A and B are shown apart, each in its own frame.
Chain A
Amino acid sequence: GQQLNQSPQSMFIQEGEDVSMNCTSSSIFNTWLWYKQEPGEGPVLLIALYKAGELTSNGRLTAQFGITRKDSFLNISASIPSDVGIYFCAGPGGSNYKLTFGKGTLLTVNP
């Protein structure tokens, strides 16, 4: 099956620093999605990318759909304590629009 490799697994940063995480797949994806999950909550959609090369921002978050359609990155600028959580990349694989998830990047922001 399709696999998503997400890195890094975890990050410990100081408030104000920029963060970058990425995701690569073994096959081409037509959509890349980035979610954030806080403890005890469901994932919340941050950014959706639908076109190769697309660069989309959502506040301090920026994500890009790689031109090979096999990778995507998410940047967070000027991190703040509430950015803490697990960030998942996801993409549809196979039929029925099932999503394949990366293993997540745990972000810790020290005030």
Chain B
Amino acid sequence: GAVVSQHPSWVICKSGTSVKIECRSLDFQATTMFWYRQFPKQSLMLMATSNEGSKATYEQGVEKDKFLINHASLTLSTLTVTSAHPEDSSFYICSASEDLIGGTDTQYFGPGTRLTVL
């Protein structure tokens, strides 16, 4: 149980284009989903927290107009990197938490999406 998928697993795009990454919880309903970015040989850095039906909460320094997050259902969240530039190239990972507020804090991670912007 607790499987999270991401699509695509990798994407290459031209500078200036937008890229959408999907995150799905396959066998549970995710009240909250999280988006992380990971640069080579570094730890995961939280970008934003997404709650179903409400606006995402972005971490300090993360541009909300550049990284658009939509959490339209309890099983799907999307991250759109708008007007991507080479410095946006990174490994983007989502996670999902199946517990309601007041429950445990365990997050289950997707396999990640490797974005390369040329």
Q: List the interface of chain A (C-beta within 8 A of B).
A: 30-31, 33, 35, 40-45, 48, 50, 88, 91-92, 96-99, 101-104
Contacts and interface: CB of A to CB of B under 8 A. Distances in A.
B32 A97 contact: yes
A91 B105 CA distance: 8
**Which bucket holds chain B's interface residue count?**
20 to 34
Given A96-B57, A97-B97, A50 B109 contact: no
> In terms of DSSP, what is the predominant structure of the interface of chain B?
strand
B104 A96 contact: no
B67 to A, nearest CB: 16
Nearest to B107: A99
A-side interface mostly: loop
Contact of B43 (A33, A48, A101): A101
Contact of A88 (B44, B46, B95): B44
Contact of A98 (B34, B43, B91): B34
